[in-house]
Structure 1
Amino acid sequence: MIDEINISCPYCGEVFETTADCSAGDQEYIEDCQVCCRPIVITLHVSDMTLINTEVRRDDE
């Protein structure tokens, strides 16, 4: 199941939309900000194919 999620870039603060595959369980991956192009670490917490929590942080933290 693919969900669309809005995240806020921890560098520039802009909000942009991305997708999350909730059928794959908990995940952590790096995606570049669509505005400033800096790398963002996105952590998804999934239970029963439902997105429970999304954490976003800089990759240098």
Structure 2
Amino acid sequence: MFEHFFQCPYCWEEISVLLDPSVMRQTYIEDCEVCCRPIEFHVAFEESELVEFRASDIEQ
């Protein structure tokens, strides 16, 4: 597992997520552990290296 730190697009708190480099491309939704709002993640790995990470708010 790979720990990655980022800022929540809602509350701007720095939080971390655990990413699995064995899955080359991932898109999923997870709630912020601070403000509990939904964040959409886009993650990509190449040869176990993180090459893309986006954490976006979800327009509702």
Do they fold alike, i.e. is TM over 0.5? Answer: yes
- Offset at residue 23 of structure 1 (A): 0.5
Using structure 1 for the length normalisation, give the TM-score: 0.89
Q: Secondary structure at the match of 1:13?
A: coil
Which residue is 1:52 aligned to?
51
- What's the % identity of the aligned pairs? 35
Q: Unpaired segments of 5 or more residues in structure 1?
A: none
CA RMSD of aligned residues (A): 1.3
> Any idea what the Cα deviations from partners look like across 1:20-46, whole Å, max 9, x if unmatched?
001011101111101000000011021
Which residue is 2:17 aligned to?
18
User: What one-letter code is carried by the residue in structure 1 that aligns with 2:25?
Assistant: D
Q: Unpaired segments of 5 or more residues in structure 2?
A: none
* Deviating 4+ runs (over 6 angstroms): none
Structure with the largest fraction of helix: 1
- Count matched residues: 60
